[in-house]
Amino acid sequence: MLPQKLAEEAIVPNFNESEPEGKDEQQPSKEDEQSIFSVKSILWHGGSAWDAWFSCASNQVAQVLLTLPYSFSQLGLLSGILLQIFYGLMGSWTAYLISVLYIEYRSRKEKEGVGFKNHVIQWFEVLDGLLGPYWKAVGLAFNCTFLLLGSVIQLIACASNIYYINDRLDKRTWTYIFGACCATTVFIPSFHNYRIWSFLGLGMTTYTAWYLTIAAVVHGQVDGVQHSAPTKLMLYFTGATNILYTFGGHAVTVEIMHAMWKPQKFKYIYLIATLYVFTLTLPSASAVYWAFGDQLLNHSNAFSLLPKSGWRDAAVILMLIHQFITFGFACTPLYFVWEKVIGMHDTRSMCLRAVARLPVVIPIWFLAIIFPFFGPINSAVGALLVSFTVYIIPALAHMLTYRKASARQNAAEKPPFFMPSWTAMYAINIFVVGWVLVVGFGFGGWASLTNFVRQVDTFGLFAKCYQCNPPPTAAHQPAIAPPHH
């Protein structure tokens, strides 16, 4: 699979190729070096541009496939399509900014003689190195909170999906079961080792997306179907915030880059991944909305409207497996942060590190059990956290890092070929900050928090089977449940 030189590059991704990266558990054994068709290299030891692409695409689209039709029922078909394209491109731009800042930070540190043996660089460290400790604190707080809550959502989503196949167990019991399953991600060392999982995960979401598309078309439009959206300002901005959140999988971008043999190649990978994701989200959301229309306002999970069949059960099972993978994607950066806090990050024994990571999984598990109603407040999290983590902070950090002429002159990465000048880059960054601050954080936060207040009376701690009853009639206020990544 990989010749010896590339196997060495897998543990030497530094720009000068003189300092080994990351983890000794990634180092190929002598048997691997002797066999270019090593199973370990094929399934485990990934660090190519393709691996990064699979990781980005797989992490970007998961449970959100099932809730995008619901967002379309709030926005209308035209707004849903346009906002997907708009936020997808905006998300690709801020992912590009993060990659530029990572390369800038790493280049400066290596010029100072700093190595990264047994150390995975993370976003808050990039902010610290380029802008100082206050930015580090802000980046750490937003990123960790976003990843923590994202992991909780995966467990709740697992219980919600499996309930469509087997309702003999309540959702709380399913959360216990999937919490134990997801805890096994503590044994995956880093993003370097997600090669086979990323590949399978994207295959699973591809199947699910096209199942939704074909099943909706074959089912046809329901009797008296109506497509009345948009009707209410609150619903519209909640749906817009959901799509803003859809293309906000940047919380693991730096870790994915650091796992690459050649991190400089990452610059356009997120954009290419987003273009592929469009081929999954646009047809499936449009087809399901075309078939069911306003019924989706009371069905935030598309599985609930499609007839039970072997094809649907297969899609549910594949989504469950993919949610396990996504849980690992969200938790791995938290594992790294925790390891650094307790001084275990450079420990060579994977078993010791796995035990050390368990305190990260346990509170996530309990939060998913205590707050099974997390779905209705997730759009508020998207408006209040994702707006800053994914869009505002990277754009501001880029502008501040290159605010001086000397920094622009000595930049490790110059403006891209399609950008005529630094001024144009600043103009785009200012637009991103302004738009997301007003529309995402402002209007989106207002809509999400207003809905949260309206839904408070339905909440209950340790609910045994939250929202297991038949969905409310059209006369009731529709619940606002945002996408689950």
pLDDT above 70 covers what percent of the chain?
A: 82
Residue 64: how many CA atoms within 13 Å on its side-chain side? 28
State the pLDDT at residue 467: 53
pLDDT digits (tens, 9 = 90+) for 388-409: 999 999 999 999 999 999 999 9
Please tell me the predicted confidence (pLDDT) of residue 461: 55
* 192 vs 438, residue with greater confidence: 438
pLDDT at position 448 is 81
Look up tokens 């995402």; give the residue.
Answer: 440
**Predicted pLDDT at 31:** 43
Predicted confidence (pLDDT) per residue in 409-421, tens digit: 999 998 988 888 9
What's the confidence (pLDDT) of residue 134?
A: 96
CB within 8 A of 282, min separation 6: which ones?
81, 84
Q: Which pLDDT value is given to residue 35?
A: 42
Q: Tens digit of pLDDT for each residue in 77-107?
A: 999 999 999 999 999 999 999 999 999 999 9
Distance from first CA to last CA of the chain, Å, rounded? 32
